[in-house]
Amino acid sequence: MRKKYRAGFVAILGRPNAGKSTLLNALLGTKLAIIASKPQTTRTAIQGVLAVPGAQMVFIDTPGIHKGDTLLNRRMMETVRAAAEAPDVVLFVIDALTPPTDEDTQALDLAKKAGVPVIAVLNKIDWLEKKPDLLARIEQYRQWHDFAAYIPVSARRGSGLDELRAEIIKHLPVGSAIFPEDYLTDQPERFLAAEIIREKVLHHTQKEVPHAVAVAIDSWEETPKLLRTAATIYVEKPGQKAILIGAGGSMMKKIGTQARHDMEHTFNRKVFLETFVKIRTNWREDPGFLSVTDWRT
Ligand SMILES: Nc1nc2c(ncn2[C@@H]2O[C@H](COP(=O)(O)OP(=O)(O)OP(=O)(O)O)[C@@H](O)[C@H]2O)c(=O)[nH]1
Ligand SMILES: [Mg+2]
């Protein structure tokens, strides 16, 4: 007998930097979400849809669970709570290289609240030196919750993903596809472009600068062969602006070139990108500003 078609929502939860966005991209086989070695890279929920024979998985990547005082931090946590409200299954992403933290506990609390099966995804095993360490880590998490499964993966290398997809599908409800076959994401191209620029900024800056950066797209004109766009990179302080511009504009040039390169790949056309840097004091506390850079509003 043919297996019944399954389709459903899969929330990806976990502490900052666990590798949630890397996992989303790896599961989809497409780069949708930006990645950085700094925590709090993802700021909104990012939906990515994967159709395989017999099933459709609607993944929702979320910001890492953390405590933070700014309005931006609170909005990020509201986003995670909303994503955790009604999934069919949760992927609880664990950085297997490091011991559990308070943020892991908070993330798990939220995952449990969803009241659906939670799969423990032990990520970054490519850097794990000894197998007993992995088994010990699994044992640690087993004490916390009766997970539906414990699946070691390397999101970066792409290992363990077939096992993970198969496990996810088991927990999806029987039903027809939620989105059309070729549908990939709810993110508009402008938002993807702004995120690509922010990713390059994160790669080249340290300490408080990554957290102080927001990107807005000011103009967008496209033809089948060319995309012409202008973006403003907002920071909070003059010192941060100086860092982003760099000596003789060198940093801005580097960020612009790398972002343009990625955008050409993502949008499959030539890109003409102009970037500006502006100071916007305390933008993380400014509801008006936050809604300008949030593509959902
Ligand atoms: N070695 C190794 N590193 C990984 C793996 N997956 C992710 N990383 C790295 O972990 C860091 C964080 O990855 P992200 O995917 O941005 O993590 P995240 O959980 O989405 O982080 P936030 O959005 O800040 O919550 C990056 O430097 C990744 O390259 C993996 O399988 N192996
Ligand atoms: Mg992320």
CATH code at position 267: 3.30.300.20
The pLDDT of residue 130? 81
Check whether residue 163 and residue 223 sit in a common domain.
no
pTM of the full structure: 0.96
Q: Using the atom order of ligand 1, give the atom closest to the CA of residue 127.
A: 1
- 152: domain range? 6-170
Helix 250-267, helix 238-245: angle, nearest 10: 70
* Residue to substitute in 28, 35, 95, 154 for testing ligand 1 pocket (most ligand atoms within 8 angstroms of CB): 35
Nearest CA to ligand 1 atom 12: 17
CA of 154 to the centre of ligand 1 (A): 10
Check whether residue 142 and residue 212 sit in a common domain.
no
CA of 99 to the centre of ligand 1 (A): 16
C-alpha to C-alpha distance for 42 and 16, rounded to whole angstroms: 9
Q: Is residue 145 part of a domain?
A: yes
Q: Is residue 179 part of a domain?
A: no
Task: Name the domain count of the chain.
Answer: 2
In the chain (297 residues long), the average pLDDT of successive 10-residue segments reads 89 98 97 95 97 97 94 95 95 96 96 96 93 90 96 98 98 97 93 97 95 96 96 97 96 98 96 98 95 68
Check whether residue 63 and residue 196 sit in a common domain.
no
Give the number of other CB atoms < 10 A from CB of residue 210.
Answer: 19
Q: Is residue 1 part of a domain?
A: no
Check whether residue 31 and residue 165 sit in a common domain.
yes
Check whether residue 73 and residue 36 sit in a common domain.
yes
Nearest CA to ligand 1 atom 26: 37
The enclosing domain of 134 has a CATH number of 3.40.50.300
CA of 226 to the centre of ligand 1 (A): 32
Q: Using the atom order of ligand 1, give the atom closest to the CA of residue 18.
A: 19
The pLDDT of residue 131? 79
Check whether residue 147 and residue 268 sit in a common domain.
no
The pLDDT of residue 296? 59
Check whether residue 160 and residue 196 sit in a common domain.
no
Q: In this structure, which amino acid lies at residue 233? A: I
Q: Which of 120, 136, 170 is the last residue of a domain?
A: 170
Check whether residue 278 and residue 163 sit in a common domain.
no
Check whether residue 157 and residue 23 sit in a common domain.
yes
